[in-house]
């Protein structure tokens, strides 16, 4: 039973494009929604996170959109670069912290020249 | 030096063998976690510990055990390894009431 569903599984965009990765959650007790970025051979690292009291959060070229009523959130990468090529995981937790994260299945992003 | 260090980085073991994966951290965090990563399944929580005397099962604890030897050390054991435990294992830490989890570089375990 996947509590956080993520799509697509993989994504290829050209440099400058805007990849969008979507996640949906089941548990309404979740109140913290981070995105982690993972490069090959490395552990995941926190990229950006949002709480359900706001509908959007931007950090540099990365934006999270959050729809509480639909129980969905998404990651947008503006002006994508080849260096953004990585696997992206959405996650969710209760209590507003990084404790006991429930992860999505991951999206492998490739940004081509 | 890495803040969260996992050893070994790679390991091949035979079915039925006991194996221990170790994790140490220099971040001073109370909370430590073991996750397993499989293709198409993301990361799943195996065990977590909120302090030295606290051990809790996660989503997929069957076949695994853990030991919190000190605030900085958290080890994962497979008492009798089986092939479907072949996966990438990550240790992570976080501070109480903080938003960020810090992951080690992972241990790639193959059970043959």
pLDDT 10s per residue in chain A (113 long)? 669 999 999 999 999 999 999 999 999 999 999 999 999 999 999 999 999 999 999 999 999 999 999 999 999 999 999 999 999 999 999 987 888 899 999 999 999 99
> What one-character-per-residue DSSP string does B21-51 give?
EEEEESS--SEEEEEEEETTTEEEEEEEEEE
Distance from CA of B16 to the nearest CA of A (A): 27
Which of B99, B106, B108 to mutate to probe the A interface, most A CBs <10 Å?
A: B99
With a cut of 70, say whether residue B59 has pLDDT above it: yes
What pLDDT does residue B98 have? 82
Determine how β-strand A102-103 pairs with β-strand B4-7. Answer: unpaired
What is the average pLDDT score of chain B? 95
Nearest CB to A89: which of B40, B42, B94? B42
pLDDT of res. A17: 97
pLDDT at A96: 77
Work out the burial of residue B105: count CB atoms within 10 Å of its CB; fewer than 13 is exposed, 13-18 middle, 19 or more buried. middle
Q: How far is A40 from chain B (nearest CA, A)?
A: 10
Q: How far apart are the two ends of chain A, measured CA to CA in Å?
A: 38
Spatial distance between the Cα atoms of B74 and B71, rounded to a whole number of angstroms:
8
Beta carbons within 8 Å of A60's beta carbon, 6+ residues apart: none
Which two structure tokens, joined as six digits, stand for A64?
Answer: 């999270």
């Amino acid at each position: 039973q996947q509590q956080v569903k993520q799509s697509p599984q993989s994504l290829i965009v050209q440099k400058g494009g805007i990849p969008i990765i979507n996640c949906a959650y089941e548990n309404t007790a979740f109140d913290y929604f981070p995105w982690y970025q993972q490069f090959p051979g490395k552990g995941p690292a926190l990229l950006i996170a949002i709480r359900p009291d706001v509908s959007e959060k931007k950090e540099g070229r990365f934006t999270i959109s959050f729809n509480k009523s639909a129980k969905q959130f998404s990651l947008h990468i503006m002006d994508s670069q080849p260096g953004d090529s990585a696997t992206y995981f959405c996650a969710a937790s209760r209590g507003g912290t990084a404790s006991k994260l429930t992860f999505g299945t991951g999206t492998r992003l490739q940004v081509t020249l | 030096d890495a803040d969260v260090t996992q050893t070994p980085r790679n390991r091949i073991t035979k079915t039925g063998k006991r194996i221990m994966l170790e994790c140490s951290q220099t971040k001073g965090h109370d909370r430590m976690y073991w996750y397993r990563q499989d293709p198409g399944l993301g990361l799943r929580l195996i065990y977590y510990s909120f302090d030295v005397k606290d051990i809790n099962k996660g989503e997929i604890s069957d076949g695994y055990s853990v030991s919190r030897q000190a605030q900085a050390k958290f080890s994962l054991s497979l008492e009798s390894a089986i092939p479907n435990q072949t996966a990438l294992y990550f240790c992570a830490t976080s501070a109480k009431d903080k938003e960020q989890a810090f992951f080690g570089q992972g241990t790639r375990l193959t059970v043959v």
